[in-house]
Amino acid sequence: MSEPLLSIENLITRFPTKRGRLTAVDGVSLTLERRETLGLVGESGSGKSVLGLSVMRLVQPPGMIEAGSIRFAGTSLLDLSTDEMRRLRGQRLAMIFQDPTATLNPVLTIGEQIGEVLRWHLPSIGPAELRERVVEMLDRVGIPNARQRFGDYPHEFSGGMQQRVIIAAALILNPALVIADEPTTALDVTVQAQILDLLRRLKDGEPETAIVLVSHDLGVVGEMCERIAVMYAGNLVEVAPADDILDDPKHPYTVGLIASIPRLDREVGALNPIPGRLADPVTPPPGCKFHARCAHAFERCRVERPVLKTLVPGRQVACHLHD
Amino acid sequence: MTEAASPLVEVSDLTVHFAGRGNVLGRLLGKGPVVHAVNGISFAIGRQEVLGLVGESGSGKTTTGRVLARLVPPTGGKVRLDGEDWLGLSGPALRRRRRNVQMIFQNPFASLDPKWTVERIVAEPLKTHERMGAPELRRRVASLLEGVGLDPRLMTRYPHQFSGGQRQRIGLARAMALNPQLLIADEPVSALDVSIQAQILNLLAELKASHRLSMLFISHDLAVVRHVSDRVAVMYLGTLVEIAETKTLYRSPRHPYTQALLSAIPDPTRRKSRKAIALKGEIPSPLNPPSGCVFHPRCPLAQARCAQETPKLRPLADGQWAACHLA
Ligand SMILES: Nc1ncnc2c1ncn2[C@@H]1O[C@H](COP(=O)(O)OP(=O)(O)O)[C@@H](O)[C@H]1O
Ligand SMILES: Nc1ncnc2c1ncn2[C@@H]1O[C@H](COP(=O)(O)OP(=O)(O)O)[C@@H](O)[C@H]1O
Ligand code: SF4
Ligand SMILES: [Mg+2]
Ligand SMILES: [Mg+2]
């Protein structure tokens, strides 16, 4: 077997804050195979976005990656210079964010913005070819009348269409890895369905691209992803094939997440929420960070931090119950 | 009909138009663009019933809720509350009845004064509507906070010292202070994580039972709405396209829009069986809603008459109503 496309080891990303050091990503190890679609789920504040930004090396200073390694297609990302990293982004690695209006530059036409990605990476490209390639990409992401809309500004597009433009910019150079951070969270459900369908079709047409889909919505990742990683307070607590996670979750946090969701298919009476709320990332509790909310916690959970261990091949859980 | 058997709220032919952004002259002459936010909708909310109101953003849900809370004057139509002409009330009569209708919002932070303590926030409606001494007021606030699962000792704190879920509890304590008959909850859990969302949904169910509340529960999340509602109404572009008992609506939606909406939800329990009905294009502008059936440009089943004739909300079997020529 060749090396995985992405392998993250013991990654720690922290932010200095007024209250003290905030550990957003706390020793995460994760691998991603070529062409894989992996879902990253967890409540807000669990560190999903910071993990994605860390891989892109886009963590906002003074936040920084303090430890660990990230290997991407044979290269150690943390050893690259800023320039080398910038070249890699866009070309081999791309990220899509939740809020399209914050991503797009309001004073540039969408043709200019997508063209900029191309020109940056292919300095010799002529204006006619550039235009052709941008129009073709806009067409592929389902922008109607792409040729006419090349010169339109972002505000002339709806939220869903803006997200298509961003997907076009992210994918125009056929990157090997796309990190999509809540790409449909700001959209209405029928628009979300269109965008998810688009991502699926693009992936079928471009089978070389691997996707990390970050979402707080288990329904979205359940449909889109082969594997799911569940994050809690900076740690991965469970990683497994999507079917296993959804049908037979092992970590009490994953169990709690699933039990909290109102169901579309039947009535459930009272919901079974996880008590309390997310552990504080500045002063995390000792032991398992979930222990104060966990119905199964026992003595060991209060003192010893569980590590992610392989339960059966392909399934990993960080919980003393499954040790 | 006896009063007890009649619905608590009856909305008929409610219309809300806003002046859209246009040129000043146009607005002065009353000829500017018009946002058709709500276009002649009718429904009722029974006593101790939760009516869910769903639809995508811009469909008119919040506007409908705000009219019921008397925060927005309608352009046309009637609302009866407990048999009375609710929109016709004014002055002291309105002040007396106002306590019976309370509203909570998606972003409780925006509706809680940041400079006030929780005690003052929750006590405010009691001071306005009821005469009581300071010790009793404090006891009432404490018991209201307990009723929403907050430690009364926290009443000296300010809103920013609480998490999103706790702020929603504060908003609920304030809303429940006057023991309302009708609670309008506008996306009350949309900003919350699922585990916190579940805590608040359970709390709403408890309050509903203990206070014999009726509720208009507004949300874009169809799973959440299914969970809390006795009946569900579906809005699209200012129009009520379908209304039915919850089970009926989710098992056999009859309007093509409801069908598409339900099919679009990614859901972990049916991830393999789901077949989304793809809708063409995007929601049209409420400045210029389509002729005939407002859904016709996107409807997979549309026929020639759909572009001309506006379908009426018609009763089908089992208390289900749909506004579609084909239903
Ligand atoms: N720029 C930043 N400065 C300080 N803290 C941050 C910053 N970005 C994220 N954090 C903190 O890091 C933690 C993880 O955040 P994030 O990765 O955004 O979570 P998620 O995407 O899972 O909601 C949170 O406690 C958040 O407040
Ligand atoms: N005060 C207002 N002035 C002008 N337009 C408004 C106003 N409030 C709402 N609208 C418009 O009315 C329509 C319905 O809005 P709203 O009731 O908020 O929908 P929903 O709650 O379903 O998202 C939207 O097009 C919205 O932009
Ligand atoms: S009336 Fe026509 S256009 Fe409207 S929903 Fe029914 S079939 Fe579709
Ligand atoms: Mg995030
Ligand atoms: Mg609204």
Please indicate, yes or no, if residue B266 is contained in any of the structural domains: yes
Q: Where among B207, B236, B265 does a domain terminate?
A: B236
Mean pLDDT for all residues in chain A: 93
Closest by Cβ to A264, choosing from B56, B226, B247? B226
What local confidence, expressed as pLDDT, does residue B25 receive? 62
What angle is formed at CA B204 by the lines to CA A251 and CA A281, rounded to 5 degrees?
Answer: 40
Domain shared by B209 and B267, yes or no: no
- Alpha-carbon span B58 to B236, nearest angstrom: 8
Q: Which are the contacts of A196, defined by CB distance < 8 A and separation ≥ 6?
A: A184, A220, A223, A224, B266
Distance of CA B34 to the CA centre of its chain: 23
Please indicate, yes or no, if residue B95 is contained in any of the structural domains: yes
- Summarised one tens digit per residue, pLDDT across range B215-253 is 999 999 999 999 999 999 999 999 999 999 999 999 999
Secondary structure of residue B80 in the 3-state scheme: strand
Q: Which are the contacts of B146, defined by CB distance < 8 A and separation ≥ 6?
A: B152
What local confidence, expressed as pLDDT, does residue B108 receive? 75
Residues of A in contact with B198 (CB under 8 A): 259-262, 271-274
A258-282: average pLDDT: 87
Domain shared by B54 and B142, yes or no: yes
When scoring B169, B204, B245, B267 by the number of chain A Cβ atoms within 10 A, the one with the most, hence best to mutate, is B267
Nearest CA distance, A280 vs chain B (angstrom): 12
- Summarised one tens digit per residue, pLDDT across range A66-118 is 999 999 999 999 999 999 999 999 889 999 998 888 889 999 999 999 999 89
Closest by Cβ to A222, choosing from B194, B196, B266? B266
- Alpha-carbon span A78 to A57, nearest angstrom: 8
Q: Where among B208, B236, B264 does a domain terminate?
A: B236
Binary contact (B265, A264; C-beta < 8 A): yes
Q: Are B105 and B187 in contact (CB under 8 A)?
A: yes
What local confidence, expressed as pLDDT, does residue A204 receive? 84
Q: What is the DSSP letter of A4?
A: P
What local confidence, expressed as pLDDT, does residue B1 receive? 44
Please indicate, yes or no, if residue B313 is contained in any of the structural domains: yes
Tell me, yes or no, if B205 comes closer than 8 A to chain A by beta carbon.
yes
pLDDT at A269 over 90: no
Binary contact (A189, B282; C-beta < 8 A): no
Domain shared by B16 and B92, yes or no: yes
What local confidence, expressed as pLDDT, does residue A1 receive? 56
Binary contact (A160, B282; C-beta < 8 A): yes
Domain shared by B209 and B63, yes or no: yes
pLDDT band at B90 (very low <50, low <70, confident <90, very high): very high
Domain that holds residue B48: 9-236
When scoring B271, B273, B285 by the number of chain A Cβ atoms within 10 A, the one with the most, hence best to mutate, is B271
Q: Which atom of ligand 2 is nearest to the CA of B59?
A: 22
Q: What is the DSSP letter of A51?
A: H
What local confidence, expressed as pLDDT, does residue A90 receive? 82
Split into its structural domains, chain B has a count of 2
Total residues found in chain A within this entry: 323
Domain shared by B199 and B51, yes or no: yes
Please indicate, yes or no, if residue B225 is contained in any of the structural domains: yes
In the numeric block, the tokens 């690259």 are attached to A80
Tell me, yes or no, if B27 comes closer than 8 A to chain A by beta carbon.
no
Tell me, yes or no, if B264 comes closer than 8 A to chain A by beta carbon.
yes
Residues of A in contact with B260 (CB under 8 A): 190
What local confidence, expressed as pLDDT, does residue B27 receive? 60
- Alpha-carbon span A136 to A145, nearest angstrom: 11
Secondary structure of residue A180 in the 3-state scheme: strand
- Summarised one tens digit per residue, pLDDT across range B31-66 is 678 999 999 999 999 999 999 999 999 999 999 999
Q: Which atom of ligand 1 is nearest to the CA of A42?
A: 22
pLDDT at B30 over 80: no
Domain shared by B231 and B260, yes or no: no
| Side-chain half-sphere exposure of B270, counting CA atoms within 13 A | 15
Beta bridge partners of B80: B10, B85
- Alpha-carbon span B32 to B16, nearest angstrom: 15
Please indicate, yes or no, if residue B84 is contained in any of the structural domains: yes
User: CA dist B59 to B18, B63, B289, Å?
Assistant: 14, 9, 11
- Summarised one tens digit per residue, pLDDT across range A161-188 is 999 999 999 999 999 999 999 999 888 9
pLDDT at B20 over 90: no
pLDDT band at A12 (very low <50, low <70, confident <90, very high): very high
Domain shared by B221 and B268, yes or no: no
- Summarised one tens digit per residue, pLDDT across range A204-241 is 887 789 999 999 999 999 999 999 999 999 999 999 99
Q: Are B233 and B248 in contact (CB under 8 A)?
A: no
Show the tokens assigned to B296: 């016709």
Q: What is the DSSP letter of B100?
A: T
Beta bridge partners of B240: B235
Q: Tell which phi-psi region holds residue A202, choosing left (phi > 0), alpha (psi between -120 and 50) or beta.
A: alpha
Ligand 1 center to A24 CA (angstroms): 6
State what percent of residues in chain A have pLDDT above 70: 100
What local confidence, expressed as pLDDT, does residue B28 receive? 63
CATH number at residue B74: 3.40.50.300
Domain shared by B139 and B91, yes or no: yes
A4-19: average pLDDT: 97
- Summarised one tens digit per residue, pLDDT across range B260-293 is 999 999 888 777 777 888 888 889 999 999 999 9
pLDDT band at A245 (very low <50, low <70, confident <90, very high): very high
Show the tokens assigned to A304: 């010893």
Q: Are B245 and B320 in contact (CB under 8 A)?
A: yes
Please indicate, yes or no, if residue B131 is contained in any of the structural domains: yes
Select from B38, B41, B42, B40 the least CA-distant residue to B16: B38
- The answer, yes or no, to whether any atom of ligand 2 lies below 6 A from the CB of B60, is yes
In the numeric block, the tokens 């769903």 are attached to B54
- Alpha helices per DSSP H over chain B: 24-28, 61-68, 91-98, 108-111, 118-129, 134-147, 164-176, 194-211, 222-228, 246-251, 256-263
3-state class percentages of chain A: helix first, strand second, coil last, to nearest 5: 40, 25, 40
Domain shared by B228 and B269, yes or no: no
A3-10: average pLDDT: 96
The bridge status of strand B314-315 relative to strand B231-236 is unpaired
- Alpha-carbon span B71 to B103, nearest angstrom: 10
Domain shared by B325 and B194, yes or no: no
Write down the ipTM of this complex: 0.88
Binary contact (B198, A190; C-beta < 8 A): no
State what percent of residues in chain B have pLDDT above 90: 82
- Alpha-carbon span B98 to B48, nearest angstrom: 18
- Summarised one tens digit per residue, pLDDT across range B137-178 is 999 999 999 999 999 999 999 999 999 999 999 999 999 999
Poorest-confidence range of A31-40, A262-271, B116-125?
A262-271
Binary contact (B266, A219; C-beta < 8 A): yes
- The answer, yes or no, to whether any atom of ligand 2 lies below 6 A from the CB of B286, is yes
State what percent of residues in chain B have pLDDT above 70: 96
Distance of CA A272 to the CA centre of its chain: 27
Binary contact (A246, B268; C-beta < 8 A): yes
Please indicate, yes or no, if residue B66 is contained in any of the structural domains: yes
Domain shared by B58 and B126, yes or no: yes
Per-chain residues with Cβ under 5 A from ion ligand 4: A 49
Closest by Cβ to A265, choosing from B260, B270, B282? B270
pLDDT band at B2 (very low <50, low <70, confident <90, very high): very low
When scoring A261, A267, A268 by the number of chain B Cβ atoms within 10 A, the one with the most, hence best to mutate, is A261
Please indicate, yes or no, if residue B3 is contained in any of the structural domains: no
What local confidence, expressed as pLDDT, does residue A111 receive? 95
Domain shared by B172 and B35, yes or no: yes
What local confidence, expressed as pLDDT, does residue B24 receive? 62
What local confidence, expressed as pLDDT, does residue A295 receive? 95
Q: Where among B203, B236, B269 does a domain terminate?
A: B236
Nearest CA distance, B128 vs chain A (angstrom): 34
Chain A positions contacting chain B at CB under 8 Å are 43-44, 158, 160-161, 188-194, 196-197, 216-220, 222-224, 242, 246, 256-265, 267-268, 270-275, 277-278
Dihedral (Cα; B65, B71, B77, B82), 10-degree rounding: 70
